[in-house]
Structure 1
């Protein structure tokens, strides 16, 4: 049995919204049409994907599994369309993703010098999309910072660097040569706690359930604005902290957490000679 990608897209919309009406609006189709498509998908798979009553819609166990599998499948299909479209139009281009603080100029220039006919583009990424841009075909390769979900990717280590705490210039810890992660236990972290599990495991606000008004941010610039105003701290790779130097914040090395690992990632199934060549350049530089 072949799975209809259109039905999968419809299913993902309902699974993310958990509301047929909102999903239909998002897809720009009528709700009865959406309901018929979901029933058809359930008939094809011979499972129930949603449990519905008058008050709510929930995923079944089969629905949870399909959602986990459908997202990478749809991303792969979209990436395939992008690459085939570029080939059909005769575009001779290569795109490199990079995280804040990482300078990729040398490798990009080296590839351009070797292939003058090639247009080499760069795309800035962040913590949330650094591998998604690979999976959905927006970039050919991406400089990433671990940890990430490496499924379906080839990941090649490039370097490691210390991680630092970024603090307001008048913070009690400013001016110290190094600190321990325990020194930040009473601080609010302006990023996903899973990005700094060493802090997450000792954080006062997570242990006692303290509610913090300021949330978590993925963009470095947003984090630094909130650090500067004294609303929290953030832990960043050293190169990112030095790239965004400003007078109202400081950074201090955290001595007892592992360094950040920088890698190059690309889709595991691709066999492009340009990707192999760029990976070798990135390693050498």
Structure 2
């Protein structure tokens, strides 16, 4: 049996929405058409993937397994199309994803000196999509900040760098040379507490368990706007804090907090010599481009 990728995309939309009407709107198709396509997929699989009753739509065990496998499969299919289209244009291209604060200039210059015929493109990423852009083919290789979901990826550590807390100018701690995690426990953290487990573990003992809702924040600039306005604090890698320096926000070193690790990542099945050569250039140049970094030993 050959799987129909279009039906898989329809299935993923319903599985993520758990509502046929919303999924149909997202896919820009009529709901009856979507229902027929899902029934057809179930017939082909010989298994029900959803249960439907007055309480709503839910995944069956088979549906949960299908969702787990369908998402990376669709991403791989999209990546294949992206790479084939790029090659068909007749120009070799290497697209590099990178997180805020990371300077790629030395690595890209070294790579371009070795491959002057290759068009190097840069794609800025976020915590939410730094892995996604690799899996769906938007980037060939990424300079990522750990931790990430390593499933299906090759990861090569580059360096570690300190993290600092961003405080509004005039904050009672802003004139300190350094602070401890305990000093920050009563502050409102403008990011997922799991991203700063040291703060999370101390704060849970000292704070009311009810926590103000964290706004949806997509960019570093948004976090710093909220910090400057006194809405809370955030913890950033030092290079990011340095890159986004502003007069109304102060960066202070935090004692007892783990450094951030920067690494290269790419899809493990890729065998492109361009990725290999950029990885070599990055290993030689990136740590040197970040003075506060501590270079990692090769894995």
The match for 1:219 is 219
Query: Given the alignment of the two structures, is residue 97 of structure 1 paired with residue 104 of structure 2, yes or no?
Result: no
Aligned partners of 2:108, 2:240: CA distance in 1, in Å? 19
Aligned partners of 1:215, 1:29: CA distance in 2, in Å? 32
C-alpha displacement at 1:131, in angstroms?
1.1
Does the 8 Å contact 1:93/1:118 carry over to 2?
A: yes
The match for 2:125 is 125
Aligned partners of 1:111, 1:247: CA distance in 2, in Å? 36
SS in 1 for 2:262: strand
SS in 2 for 1:138: coil
Aligned partners of 1:149, 1:280: CA distance in 2, in Å? 23
Aligned-residue Cα RMSD (Å) equals 1.7
What are the residue-to-residue correspondences of 1:101-112 with 2, within 5 Å? 101-112=101-112
C-alpha displacement at 1:30, in angstroms?
1.9
C-alpha displacement at 1:196, in angstroms?
1.2
The match for 1:280 is 280
Aligned partners of 1:99, 1:150: CA distance in 2, in Å? 17
What are the residue-to-residue correspondences of 1:263-274 with 2, within 5 Å? 263-274=263-274
The match for 1:39 is 39
C-alpha displacement at 1:62, in angstroms?
2.3
The match for 1:74 is 74
Does the 8 Å contact 1:192/1:217 carry over to 2?
A: no
The match for 1:260 is 260
TM-score calculated relative to the size of structure 2? 0.91
Q: Deviations over 1:17-38 (max 9, x none)?
A: 1111121122122212211111
Q: Deviations over 1:194-240 (max 9, x none)?
A: 21122222335996332415525231000000000000000000100
TM-score calculated relative to the size of structure 1? 0.95
Which range is displaced more, 105-114 or 73-82? 105-114
The match for 2:243 is 243
SS in 2 for 1:85: helix
SS in 1 for 2:202: coil
The match for 1:18 is 18
Does the 8 Å contact 1:189/1:234 carry over to 2?
A: yes
The match for 1:147 is 147
What are the residue-to-residue correspondences of 1:153-232 with 2, within 5 Å? 153-204=153-204, 208-232=208-232
Aligned partners of 2:205, 2:81: CA distance in 1, in Å? 46
Give the 3 Å change call, closer, same or farther, for CA 29–214 of structure 1 in structure 2: closer
Which range is displaced more, 59-68 or 196-205? 196-205
How many residues are matched? Answer: 285
Aligned partners of 2:13, 2:206: CA distance in 1, in Å? 32
What are the residue-to-residue correspondences of 1:1-12 with 2, within 5 Å? 1-12=1-12
Aligned partners of 2:207, 2:16: CA distance in 1, in Å? 30
Structure 1 stretches lacking a partner, 5+ long: none
SS in 2 for 1:201: helix
SS in 1 for 2:198: helix
SS in 1 for 2:222: helix
Q: Deviations over 1:38-96 (max 9, x none)?
A: 11222222322112113411222322222222111111110011001111221221111
Aligned partners of 2:202, 2:66: CA distance in 1, in Å? 35
Aligned partners of 1:96, 1:18: CA distance in 2, in Å? 35
Give the 3 Å change call, closer, same or farther, for CA 134–24 of structure 1 in structure 2: same
Does the 8 Å contact 1:49/1:63 carry over to 2?
A: yes
